[in-house]
A and B are shown apart, each in its own frame.
Chain A
Amino acid sequence: MTTNQTVTVGTMESSDIMITLKPNASGIKIDLESNVKKQFGAHITALITEVLQKLDIQNIAVEAVDKGALDCTIKARTIAAAYRLQGKTDYDWEALNSWND
């Protein structure tokens, strides 16, 4: 889907990640700022991409400011941002829960 909106979720507290989604003409573009970028940057970028793809979001610009969030937090913030962007409140909990390994 395509959107003209911008949404921001999360905080700049330690162990959190703030995710801003903005319109993007084509593809998923992720701009990551993280205090653990050297150790986990590639992993975090891949994780955000994976979540967005699962939610069927193809074209989006992501600005992520990470303060050392764990994977569970990164997934939750990304899902929340995506739902808010689409104005969806009918969370498919079963589908979301099935992502947890």
Chain B
Amino acid sequence: MVENKLKRDIPAVYADKYGVYDGEFAQVAPYQAATKRVKPIKPNDTKLLASIHDAIVKTGLKDGMTISFHHHFREGDFVMNMVLAEIAKMGIKDLSIAPSSIANVHEPLIDHIKNGVVTNITSSGLRDKVGAAISSGIMKNPVVIRSHGGRARAIASGDIHIDVAFLGAPSADEYGNINGTKGKATCGSLGYAMVDAKYADQVVAITDTLVPYPNTPISIPQTDVDYVVQVDAIGDPDGIAKGATRFTKNPKELLIAEYAAKVITASDYFKPGFSFQTGSGGAALAVSRFLRQTMVDQDVKASFALGGITNAMVEMQQAGLVDKLIDVQDFDHPSAVSLAENADHYEIDANMYASPLSKGAVINKLDVAILSALEVDTDFNVNVITGSDGVLRGASGGHSDTSAACKMSMVIAPVVRGRIPTIVDSVTTVVTPGSSVDVVVTELGIAINPARPDLIAMFKDLKVPQLTIDALKDKAYAITGVPEKIEYGDQTVALIEYRDGSLIDVVKNV
């Protein structure tokens, strides 16, 4: 075992291979970017193939290779299940898969793991049944959990080498020009897929909307695409927006949102030209409503909003409150429509969004980020990947990226959820180190990280209750009681990479 800087034990075999977390920017150093093997296309060649089966044959996909997918269709994705079903039927085994994330809809993956088709996984998240199955120990090799910026870094630096990327394309022409704003299942931005297309040896575009050449706008260009396949349906548009919430009526969430908005608007960052990122949860959306009102009242306009774009941000831009939307992913249909129609709503790739090893990610220019949490501990470490029962069920997302890079990161969460304390002694799994987290906002008040005395001074007259993080934890435990320690097995089921590729924690089987 090797103990990392956060006192988390990392088994030696993985510590040797990945290195262990040693501080937010400890591993940022010059490197040689990854290269790919290119099969050139001659003037009379065709890229259009009749089926996914033909594409798998043409790419020469073999046992042991790495394939990737994007998660822009979220719970509405058909592509990963279709491709893996065909691969399984063809008898190909021992694949590594590198989807940008995994949703509940990908439950068939469990059988592909059990049947030896998939033997390695890297992903941002693992949900419900897939997460529970992996936590139970069905894989010999641990899943590697990477943040969105961490995945872009891993691909750009060669830690993940994608042999074949199978990319769902809301619209494509027969030569492989792709966008996410036209077609039957429009997901808007293709920010995560753009990185795969740029670095994969071979790219297969799978579309249900084949349009005349040339398809514009071009999010992924023909020069990155080898083959195009037309299928009946690549995704369910309703599933793309699943989980995106309307304005919450939950009084606890509203209070948290009100406190969060007060923190933002009382901060020195809140001035004309400021920038922000919010999530898609109920409280996060409510923050934008409260924030919006103060922006109107005080005539403070933002230079940009980043994300994870939701309709709430689109409406703020339409009202003239936000100059630009910088968009790596869309959480609902109105956001995808806005990306298509508004030149100041701009699509970027994950490398530009959040990679710690790019020549400067957009998050580095971000003032305020609002983030969620399953657990926060008294060292301000945040868990967004495992439930307090130790089972994998969340996603790393952009949490560690954004919080490390922005000027003020705010984690919003209720003190308890049902009987589960959210503010705890020690998080079940660390995804984001406490040094990245500046303010924790709960319905009982806020806790400012003592490592930010400037913020403590900034908010000394703020009309929101202020507590220490220990006091918040005590209040949580007073309601719920002190939880018993979870008993884990000896098998490592997931490695939690920090955004720089070092290991910040591991997850054992339960």
Is B479 positioned at the interface, with any CB of A under 8 Å from its CB? Answer: yes
Identify the closest chain A residue to B417 (Cβ). Answer: A68
Identify the closest chain A residue to B486 (Cβ). Answer: A38
**A39 and B483 within 8 A (CB):** yes
Contact with A along B457-482 (1 / 0, CB 8 A): 00000000000000000000001110
> Which listed residue (B390, B479, B484, B510) contacts A70, Cβ 8 A?
B479
B402-423 at interface with A (beta carbon < 8 Å): 417-420
Identify the closest chain A residue to B483 (Cβ). Answer: A39
Interface majority SS on B: helix, strand, loop or mixed? loop
CB proximity of A34 to chain B, nearest CB, Å: 9
Using Cβ atoms and an 8 Å threshold, which residues of chain A touch B481?
40, 43, 71
> Which listed residue (A41, A43, A68, A71) contacts B420, Cβ 8 A?
A68
Using Cβ atoms and an 8 Å threshold, which residues of chain B touch A39?
388-389, 419-420, 483-484, 486
Rounded to whole angstroms, the CA-CA distance of A42 and B484 in the bound complex is 9
Contact flag A40-B419 (CB < 8 Å), given A70-B479, A70-B480, A71-B481: yes
Using Cβ atoms and an 8 Å threshold, which residues of chain B touch A15?
418-419
Using Cβ atoms and an 8 Å threshold, which residues of chain A touch B483?
36, 39-40
CB proximity of A24 to chain B, nearest CB, Å: 27
Rounded to whole angstroms, the CA-CA distance of A14 and B484 in the bound complex is 21
Interface residues on A, range: 10 to 19
Using Cβ atoms and an 8 Å threshold, which residues of chain A touch B389?
36, 38-39
CB proximity of B444 to chain A, nearest CB, Å: 16
Is A84 positioned at the interface, with any CB of B under 8 Å from its CB? Answer: no
Identify the closest chain B residue to A17 (Cβ). Answer: B419
Rounded to whole angstroms, the CA-CA distance of A84 and B479 in the bound complex is 28
Rounded to whole angstroms, the CA-CA distance of A14 and B481 in the bound complex is 18
Is A69 positioned at the interface, with any CB of B under 8 Å from its CB? Answer: yes
Other contacts beyond A14-B418, A39-B420: 17, CB < 8 A: A15-B418, A36-B418, A36-B419, A36-B420, A38-B389, A38-B390, A39-B389, A39-B486, A40-B419, A40-B483, A42-B484, A43-B481, A67-B418, A68-B417, A68-B420, A70-B419, A70-B480
Identify the 10 closest CB pairs spanning chains A and B, nearest first: A68-B418, A39-B483, A68-B419, A38-B389, A36-B419, A15-B418, A39-B484, A38-B486, A14-B418, A43-B481
Q: What are 24 A-B contacts defined by CB distance under 8 Å?
A: A14-B418, A15-B418, A15-B419, A36-B389, A36-B418, A36-B419, A36-B483, A38-B389, A38-B390, A38-B486, A39-B388, A39-B389, A39-B420, A39-B483, A39-B484, A39-B486, A40-B480, A41-B484, A42-B484, A43-B481, A43-B484, A68-B418, A69-B419, A70-B480
